[in-house]
Chain A
């Protein structure tokens, strides 16, 4: 009876279990972030802001940004501004969209940044966001962009649903769907 391989296998299983138990649960974090972001409680907002300050993995950031876009809250304004500089375009785009929903100077700044973004998809999203948020300063940037990149302004669809895919080419992350308010 080969005792050694069996022992090794058992050890592997045990170690694997232990590792799995000790490994951080990303799904749980995503759920927690989503819940905190949806909560009206200021304590929850404070806790989420602290988590954002310490840095979160991208799926948790996406969860936060999705809720922040759907349920705009000014308390997250500064945290969202910082994410406008994130290296991943899907994070930047979502942060810009969430800020645009807040309106005011934060929205203006975000949309202006989005129109000047190095990534074409983020710029396209920002063009679509100007339908929601309009401002004279944004109009100037929009005109400048129209001169440089007229294809972004070609009508894509008569449908009023604005659909901008910010995800990576080869990833299956969610597609951002922004509906124009009635």
Chain B
């Protein structure tokens, strides 16, 4: 009798399927659930890892050991969704809303069951359970979450909801699943709801980055274990970081070939490293504030025109699966190919299991290396339309760069000097470059520029006890924004007597690097005011940077003719002043561009050249003096 009562108590709720409302209030503590699930997770991860690449072919699933290059097993299965795996079990969704569980080590098929509901949304495995989200059945209930035994496929529990469960992710004793604007945590063994947390926007998939539980949709995600759940995102829209699942798992479709990988830091700080899988190209970038790519570390383009269908970024290697089944390994640091396994059958997607973890910062190549810029130029010159997302990303990054020669590549694209052909791809890229050039260059977002302007607007005042905090750093940040709104503040600091010599040099350097014509009057005032004062000329590199700025503006484009004339006039006056510091005069004289040639007239030919200034010798061996970068 007692046994019967216990069985009824356990089985009845399980079979009936408890309801998960969509309007319930948040409760519990997701961080605590994560922490409590760790012991079970550790037990699971004690199982020996077997690095495996599971290739999903058109009519089968093939497991390869990437280290030994041996085929482990093959099953003729027609896969209709995204497989999932633990260290021991691979579960594969197939036709008829069925799931097949395969022992990873032996390839033995453990069980095959039909899931309730109509179609699969997503699968996850946390030994000894498999959790599946499925879409509705006959009207009322829109979706279900089902817990199965990983040993025999028996249904252990079920939750129904009028909302739509997203892709679940299980680890240890807890499974996390998005449900509209909330993420729910359930006990993997029983389906008991442990916690529920509100998120800003509906999420579509849960996943794990190391031991961090992540809820994401498209390019946005939240760290569920963080004290404050604030969304992070990748701003560049060329691929998705999370698969879009609108109820039904679309399977291994074209979206697999356009995917962002992001290393999500454990401390909930903004992500810094990302890798874009973009069909034939892989681009490793550094992310700046707001999740925008600001530097290209390296890029790799498939040489034989085939596309990649899966990617795993580990600490040392990036593992790629090509559409012909080939498996490539690149060095994570610099993207150099280190290993390749030949392919065979065409594949639609792949699962990369037990490879190196990606939970620690990876060391990446310096983005300003010449070979990186050369690779970027080569990528932009490639006419393959499949490279367009990668090309648009690297041109965005180039336009955010504070090095003018890098931005010139984008200007060459916009003007048609690079990619002259009239194909659709070239015209799309050109139009993208034209849009970029029409915007201010730099890497900052509107909010960060506002914050920077607020910091830059502080002037030294003894009475108010105010002074700008770390002006040199502010000046360097100002350059990265590329925003013209910073120019008046920088000019004010350049002319302020309280600006220290080191800060003065950084401010002048920032104005030079920005190169904006708006600063011509202020920088001209600085040069005119101090050109005959050796103490200021040599106290820092500021005078050299200011003169460099004026020289650049004087030789500027026709659309900045007024500023060019002003800069030219200032430099001419300084050049002709006999009291100008001699070294400064020599510096300007050899660098000042020749004035535009005007038609010779009888009057002008009679005017002698100023005798105080000798023309620079133009014999190719002339001495080009340099102003010191620091005071003499």
Asked if A44 CB lies within 8 Å of chain B CBs, one says no
**With A86-B529, A116-B463, A118-B462 known to touch, is A54 a contact of B497 (CB < 8 Å)?**
no
Q: What string of 1s and 0s marks CB contacts (under 8 Å) between B551-594 and chain A?
A: 00000000000000000000001100111000000000000000
B531 to A: closest C-beta gap in Å: 6
- Please state if B460 and A55 are interface contacts (CB–CB under 8 Å): no
Asked if A145 CB lies within 8 Å of chain B CBs, one says yes
Q: What string of 1s and 0s marks CB contacts (under 8 Å) between B475-504 and chain A?
A: 000000000000000000001111000000
Find chain B residues with CB under 8 A from A109 CB: none
In whole angstroms, what is the CA distance A26 to B462 when docked?
Answer: 35
- Please state if B579 and A24 are interface contacts (CB–CB under 8 Å): yes
- Please state if A141 and B463 are interface contacts (CB–CB under 8 Å): yes
Measured CB to CB, the nearest residue on chain A to B462 is: A116
B495 to A: closest C-beta gap in Å: 6
- Please state if A56 and B579 are interface contacts (CB–CB under 8 Å): yes
* Chain A facing B: main interface SS: helix
Find chain A residues with CB under 8 A from B246 CB: none
Asked if B261 CB lies within 8 Å of chain A CBs, one says no
Find chain A residues with CB under 8 A from B535 CB: 58, 87-88
- Please state if B579 and A57 are interface contacts (CB–CB under 8 Å): yes
Q: What string of 1s and 0s marks CB contacts (under 8 Å) between A56-97 and chain B?
A: 111010000000000000000000001001111100100000
Asked if A4 CB lies within 8 Å of chain B CBs, one says no
A18 to B: closest C-beta gap in Å: 13
* Chain B facing A: main interface SS: loop
Find chain B residues with CB under 8 A from A87 CB: 497, 530, 533, 535-536, 539
In whole angstroms, what is the CA distance A133 to B174 when docked?
Answer: 78
Q: Which of B464, B577, B579, B612 contacts A26 (CB 8 A)?
A: B579
**With A54-B528, A55-B530, A88-B533 known to touch, is A118 a contact of B463 (CB < 8 Å)?**
no
Find chain B residues with CB under 8 A from A86 CB: 497, 529
Q: What string of 1s and 0s marks CB contacts (under 8 Å) between B525-550 and chain A?
A: 00011111101100100000000000
Find chain A residues with CB under 8 A from B498 CB: 118
In whole angstroms, what is the CA distance A141 to B463 when docked?
Answer: 8
**With A118-B462, A141-B463 known to touch, is A55 a contact of B497 (CB < 8 Å)?**
no
Find chain B residues with CB under 8 A from A85 CB: 495-497
- Which residue among A55, A56, A60, A123 has the maximum number of chain B CB atoms within 10 Å of its CB? A55
Find chain B residues with CB under 8 A from A176 CB: none
Find chain A residues with CB under 8 A from B497 CB: 85-87, 89, 92, 117-118
Chain A residues at the B interface, C-beta cutoff of 8 Å: 22, 24, 26, 29, 53-58, 60, 82, 85-89, 92, 115-118, 123, 141, 144-145, 148
Give 20 A-B pairs besides A55-B530, A117-B497 with Cβ atoms closer than 8 angstroms: A53-B528, A55-B531, A55-B574, A56-B532, A56-B579, A57-B579, A58-B533, A82-B529, A85-B495, A86-B497, A86-B529, A87-B530, A87-B535, A88-B535, A88-B536, A116-B463, A116-B464, A118-B498, A141-B463, A148-B463
17 sampled A-B residue pairs with Cβ under 8 A: A54-B573, A54-B577, A55-B529, A55-B577, A56-B532, A56-B579, A57-B532, A57-B533, A86-B529, A87-B535, A88-B533, A88-B536, A115-B462, A116-B462, A118-B497, A118-B498, A148-B462
